[in-house]
Amino acid sequence: MNAGAAPPVVICIRGLLTRIDGRVLHDNIDLDVYRGEILGVVGGSGSGKSVLLRSIVGLQTPAAGRITVLGQELRDLDGDALVRMQVRWGVLFQEGALFGDQTVAENVQVPLREHTDLPQRLMDEVASVRLSMVGLPADAAGKYPAQLSGGMRKRAGLARALALDPELLFLDEPTAGLDPIAAAEFDVLVRELQQSLHLTVFMVTHDIDTLRATTDRIAVLADRTLRIGTMASLVHDPHPWIHEYFAGVRGRAAMTG
């Protein structure tokens, strides 16, 4: 994200209250996500990181509060309007969430079949371009997810998330389960795609190395509230979990790595 005047806000959350099975996860949370940034979201187990992502993309209904995406408040959108909004973002869920009975190319084409009238020839071309874009070889297109490594499945899921050329990209634990080399390569890929495609990225992660390598700002969920800053500033946060996460052994290693 460029220095200077703040860019437009593309995701605006105000007074978000989320309950799951009677337990409050988010209590009066406010958050702005700026166009062109990579925002990392981190927090302890059960803090509601993925729930926050699901709330923004309309898969979780908050108990209270407002979520505005690309200038439109989600609760004001009916079914068709919400679908038109969802076309403007792509989501990579944990493990890629690929359909095991479809080839990689067919998986990438799922959003195209759902939201466009493109002929099969053009869908094949789009899938080929997207798979190349995420660093998969051409022969991956005809394989099934079970035939791919974990890192390749993540890349295939990312290709599907980019199929409709979205403005926003949501990533849920994109490096979970990857070895350090594959995770570092995926971090580089995310940053390169964000820059080349001018994406805004909302990324849930637990990986402090990923935060260091990719993010412009970090939102930390702790005790049902939200703190926002950079890695350098969050080191000094007095909250015990935040301080340990960023100033502990792994945090110091990431800062100096």
Are the beta carbons of 118 and 126 closer than 8 angstroms?
yes
User: Any idea which of 12-21, 88-97, 100-109 has the lowest mean pLDDT?
Assistant: 88-97
Residue 76 has pLDDT above 60, yes or no: yes
Maximum distance among all Cα pairs of the chain, rounded to whole angstroms:
57
Q: In the predicted model, what is the mean pLDDT of the chain?
A: 92
Report the pLDDT value the prediction gives residue 45, as an integer from 0 to 100.
87
What is the pLDDT averaged over residues 149-169? 96
Distance between CA atoms of residues 79 and 75, nearest Å: 11
Report the pLDDT value the prediction gives residue 251, as an integer from 0 to 100.
52
Report the pLDDT value the prediction gives residue 82, as an integer from 0 to 100.
84
Confidence tier at 149 by pLDDT (50, 70, 90): very high
Buried b (16+ CB within 10 A) or exposed e, 36-72: bbbbbbbbeeebbbbbbbbbbbbebebeebebbbbee
Are the beta carbons of 87 and 164 closer than 8 angstroms?
yes
Q: Which residues pair with 17 in a beta bridge?
A: 27, 64
Query: Distance of CA 158 to CAs 127, 246, 254, 256, Å?
Result: 11, 28, 25, 29
Q: Collapse the DSSP code of 176 into the 3-class scheme (helix H, G, I; strand E, B; otherwise coil) and give the result.
A: coil
Q: Indicate the pTM of the whole model.
A: 0.92
Q: Which CATH class is domain 35-60+79-256?
A: alpha beta
226 class by beta-carbon count within 10 Å (0-12 exposed, 13-18 middle, 19+ buried): buried
Residue 50 has pLDDT above 70, yes or no: yes
